[in-house]
Amino acid sequence: MLSAKNKEIASMFSSIAPTYDLLNHLLSFNIDKMWRKRAVSLLEGNLFLDVATGTGDVAIQITKDKKDSSVIGVDLSLEMLKVGKKKVKNRNIELVCAPAEYLPFKDNTFDGAIIAFGIRNVVDRVTALYEFKRVLKKGGRLVVLEFNTPVNKFFGRLYEFYSFTVMPLLGKIISGNVHAYTYLPNSIRRFPDVEFLKGMMERVGFVDVNYFALTFGVSFIHTGVKP
């Protein structure tokens, strides 16, 4: 059963589902595609879990880049999944509506797991990380791709202006929902720093936890392995 906060998040993303892909690529100048491809390259195996799959972009990227792979994509928003189902036809992708904190899968199921631009929206991140570890096979890798506030002062100011002024305006014009595109930069600002997330993954029990920056620190990739 979804918590009140999870229902609120699901409702917000459902409201922007029809224009989500267009705005994602437009607002990131298509760099998001490169970030996803880089994150997917770190996965190994054949059966993968994609949490916060949204409209399925990461799941599709996995099946493009990993021969004979299968993906189960999980998301809170039924409307996002409806858009995704139209995109994933004729691919080895199954889409499931579920929260990251309660994954409906058996222990030791997946070779690898990924969550792209979704961990900051998870209400109980610790529980979700335990769930990732539970459903991964021994030696399976978790890949976390997430936005970050750049530390470079000059670039950081440009990023802040773009995120808090330009992004909400474009979001309102195209999707009609200014709240969702005000929420996005605020959620990035509130999200713990990269060292904190690394420590959280280690406390949950992941080993070989590492992270690295993409595009001047606008996003980061964290990886960890189930021992």
Write down the domain spans for the chain.
4-150+193-225
Q: Which residue has the higher pLDDT, 175 or 84?
A: 84
Stretch (H or E) spanning 194: helix 194-204
- For domain 4-150+193-225, give its CATH number from 3.40.50.10440, 3.30.70.2860, 3.40.50.880, 3.40.50.150: 3.40.50.150
Q: pLDDT confidence of 202, banded at 50, 70, 90? A: very high
Average pLDDT over residues 62-88: 97
Average pLDDT over residues 132-136: 99
Backbone angles phi, psi at 165, to 5 degrees: -120, -60
- DSSP-derived letter for residue 134 is H
pLDDT for res 1: 66
Q: Which residue has the higher pLDDT, 45 or 157?
A: 45
Backbone angles phi, psi at 73, to 5 degrees: -100, 135
Type of residue at 107 = D
Q: Which two tokens stand for residue 146?
A: 């997430």
Average pLDDT over residues 69-88: 97
Does residue 56 contact residue 74 with C-beta atoms inside 8 Å?
no
* Residue that the structure tokens 């021969």 belong to: 67
Q: How many CA atoms lie within 13 A of 206 on its CB side?
A: 30
The three-class DSSP label of residue 3 is coil
For the annotated binding site, the residues are: 55, 75
pLDDT for res 42: 99
For the annotated binding site for S-adenosyl-L-methionine, the residues are: 55, 75
Separation of first and last alpha carbons in the chain = 30
Q: Which residue has the higher pLDDT, 23 or 212?
A: 212
> For the whole model, what pTM was predicted?
0.94
Rounded to whole angstroms, how far apart are CA atoms 206 and 133?
7
**Cα–Cα separations (whole angstroms), residue 159 to 2, 153, 163, 173, 210:** 33, 10, 6, 20, 25
The three-class DSSP label of residue 62 is helix
pLDDT for res 160: 86
Rounded to whole angstroms, how far apart are CA atoms 51 and 64?
18
